[in-house]
Copies of this chain bind each other. A is one copy, B any other.
């Protein structure tokens, strides 16, 4: 039996699906780790690049007079100069990050798939690679947000897992790509609930559970039948994922609560809007922290009400919980523009129009979606802060009335 030999024949091949600001940063740090853990991972990390033409500016060290202003393929610039000049300029990538313009070629034979691209593209990507990946592959989604409709809450990691028939965890935290690319220290949280069929007996060989059956993020027996990670691969469990992601400048905590990590990363956007309103109105840090903590309590309540089986309160103490909340309520877009709206005495929609070229603020759609889900269940009054944010966005509720929400 292959897996019972001392050295597994296979190593994990890792692919990062996506190569924007965050995708390229994650490819960099993962590639640094695959080099350090050659016993577990193949050294080369594939990075799928949505191919486009780029012009290398003349003041770039990668400018080639012979090429001049002629557009070049982004993949070939990355593979030649080891820099993603468009999405992560001025950052040297390790040479074992291999840019690949072919999605199917990039994911072929990969046993670990890291999904990292704006969420609007994930559906299309999954459709394309379905049936073209290893059935025993495992995924990690770095995509923030969840899909909430009147009917249900769907985690992006669940969507990926169910579409591809694999297990997929989630990575989220107080993370700013450019800082991490510059190796400024921060933390992150990886939620990964190792499927039973992947749990190996102590002696390292046989799977100790029936293949296939596992529980989804809601704690229900999933319709997706999983293929176990074969015994001749190293296991994919917390220890290995830690080795793949943790860097001296990027401290990883492993948890198993995928729902908590994903929902904290999504609902914080509602709270960030509330904090912007508060500060725009002229209140200070003391008021803002009050709104943050009430927002966090509503977030936990939401998770416990709709995912009672799997939620763990300690998740909210992780980087994906409190840390991300604080950063999002202090410097991110939702906060900045909601503050601006109140300061100028205009609606958020007006700010979207004048400052964002009509582009939508994520926090507004999250608020609307979450409220429609709550209203469909008649429980919106149990979430006074979320409700107030919708009311302010719609012009039905005044910022100065926020404190009243919190009186007994």
- What residues of chain A have their CB less than 8 Å away from a CB belonging to chain B? 174-176, 179, 184-187, 242, 246, 248-249, 251, 282-287, 289-290, 292-293, 296-297, 313, 317-319, 322-324, 326-327, 330-331, 402-404, 406-408
Contacts and interface: CB of A to CB of B under 8 A. Distances in A.
Contacts of A179: 284, 286
Chain B CB within 10 Å, residue with most, of A242, A283, A290, A404 = A290
Given A186-B290, A285-B326, A286-B323, 18 more contacts: A174-B286, A179-B284, A184-B282, A185-B287, A185-B290, A186-B286, A187-B286, A242-B408, A248-B404, A248-B407, A286-B327, A289-B327, A292-B323, A292-B326, A293-B319, A296-B322, A322-B322, A326-B326
A277 to B, nearest CB: 12
A176 B322 contact: no
A185 B277 CA distance: 13
Contacts of A174: 285-286, 289-290
Given A330-B285, A331-B285, A408-B246, A251 B290 contact: yes
Nearest to A331: B285
Contact of A290 (B187, B287, B293): B187
A132 B10 CA distance: 81
Contact of A251 (B246, B297, B403): B403
A326 B329 CA distance: 12
Given A242-B408, A284-B176, A323 B290 contact: yes
B185 A403 contact: yes
A339 B248 CA distance: 22
Chain B CB within 10 Å, residue with most, of A174, A331, A404 = A174
Given A185-B403, A248-B403, A284-B184, A323 B408 contact: no
Nearest to A294: B187
Contacts of A286: 174-176, 179, 184, 186-187, 323, 327
A205 to B, nearest CB: 25
A285 B186 CA distance: 9
Nearest to A297: B317
A118 B153 CA distance: 51
Contacts of A185: 283, 287, 290, 402-403
Given A184-B284, A248-B403, A317 B289 contact: no
A118 B313 CA distance: 37
A226 to B, nearest CB: 27
A97 B181 CA distance: 58
A144 to B, nearest CB: 14
Which 6 A-B pairs give the minimum distances between C-beta atoms? A289-B323, A186-B286, A187-B290, A185-B403, A174-B286, A289-B326
Contacts of A287: 184-186
Contacts of A327: 285-286, 289
A407 B292 contact: no
A398 to B, nearest CB: 13
5 contacts: A184-B282, A184-B287, A186-B286, A285-B327, A292-B326
Contact of A184 (B242, B246, B283, B318): B283
A407 B251 contact: yes
A293 B323 contact: yes
A106 B270 CA distance: 48
Chain B CB within 10 Å, residue with most, of A185, A242, A290 = A185
A265 to B, nearest CB: 14
Given A179-B284, A187-B406, A285-B331, A290 B317 contact: no
A289 B175 CA distance: 11
A342 to B, nearest CB: 14
Contact of A406 (B251, B290, B293): B251
Chain B CB within 10 Å, residue with most, of A186, A284, A286, A289 = A286
